[in-house]
Structure 1
């Protein structure tokens, strides 16, 4: 395995790190696996797998309502994760961290609870042209129900947001701005702090979709001053089906519950129910306890490696890959903004992106093809979809070389 020297001056031992990820050590179609689909889901280190096994073999019990030893251990592990997420995001308090099934549920929670109580006819919600469907459809639904209008920040040719157009969109009618921190299709890092400040200047709330950002960037919700921040566990090397929503205390306390059931109540009678305090007001029913517990192991793993080191290595890998594909005939990169994380989205002239994915898979190289749940963005570029290689800190230059060699072979087929 290659060892790149990162821009922060540390030697990054990829071979050692790869030993922590069992799934990477296999062959696919008779070739060593090169996994470049990290923007869709990341692989899990042994520490996360061990945390899952330990919970189910040692601590499995329902939480918060039991007084026996297993219930107390499970509750403690569950709440330790809440504190870990608080630290991970630099949130002011653990009570402002709500566990969800992932980014999608976090956005739906805010759109349904905050949106249905705060939006009125004539109000406006602003999103961007590069949003994932999960940050488009919930706002469409609530805007239609409440008579509000959805407006869209345009995307420039290089895959960056048109901030001048955003400034023109913001007005006293703007009540919510919901934008992605990092584009899952292009890798563009958006200037969310600037967007947040401009939205707050007119009294609007801001939700940041941090699904792609959270594994690559240091997140500080207090410095950003966002009202809501959402992310998914499976994008930060943790389990699927779990994530978290940060919301400012005063905003969450003013919002009605998203779902009804156990845990989110203080007292229930047939005449009236009183609701629990945050965060439990928004956590109805038995949660996904094991995966919440294991998400702590994923965050601990990332923090131990050092996000700055990981980001520097991934940037070097993206630079290497970007340069390596330049001489592939007919290849065009989609998304060339100056500020990017490790995503390489591209098309090959005369070759369908599905065919690219299938032919690379035959060589053991896993990439993602399609519209990446960003159909409006693809339409903006006049495309049905792209081929997308997304890199993680366990990927290597040798794996990139294998992908590039495969793309050269595929490019020759069009002739």
Structure 2
């Protein structure tokens, strides 16, 4: 934890610094200054977690500093120290977001206890924040995966999309997966590539890497600065070389034209896949740009067929996830088709192609399997299980359960 000390009494400041510095290894003194103005200058240049300040100082006092911190650095915690037993000061301090208010001469034990509590609070906040960012990133990658296949993003996830200036999408795969060195598994190799790519593009913007079947798709949102003057071929060449040096294997990279609209992603994703397949086909260039390729009609048709297959699988994944999540509700093929913007008849056809079962048959089996799981819970009544798996009529539930399992829910519950 990074701590800034502020006190206009040099001896008190020096003592405070030495005592805190030696109290715990995780407590780092960023600086020790003698007035609020100096403290503000430090805050503008350095990362600080906690400010411990005297309240009575010339120019900018402790309350003024606390107010400045609350308005400009709300995540920074503040402890105020004062020799004045003034309740009014304490009230003002709390209004300025001060975490603790200690009277001088306060024992170092009390101060250390307060610092310890604040450190635990900061660590918890940082953990929660990291967890939130990880979840948001995972959700965004799923939504971008949907966009690659023309599936819309739910309105409540719109805010997760980075500000768009220019987008580049490229796909890549390991040139010869069979030639991976001992110790490498393909999925782990792609995870390593993902980490390198995400870090590499931080210089230019934000990259999201989505692992697909036997390749990865990379969507890069570029910064505003000088993006239009960037040489994408040069950037990808340098990235290719970095991965070759660090991981000791080569990639095949294909990329299409950049765009500025998310709705164009499916088109440019297909371009990048076609370019990557061309690189694989001729094995003469590890980086291929769609704009440099002479298109072959049959190969384009094959790519479209392959793309549609991937899209259908992605659609069914979404549908199955919604079925499991909303199992207790009145699920219909028409309702789910609206969720993925498809015709119900077409969805029913690709559902059977991908799962081997009709939608209605799959839904019944899903509900019965969930019902069997719930019936093993002695605390649940049969009518409660019935409701939780989407049946409003217990008699109908019993009929369907017996037809599927061979015995009634009551008998199944007794045997469990």
Q: Same fold (TM over 0.5)?
A: no
- Of the two structures, which has the highest relative contact order with CA contacts closer than 8 Å and spacing of 6 or more? 1
TM-score, length-scaled by structure 2: 0.23
Larger Rg: 2
* Structure with greater helix percent: 2
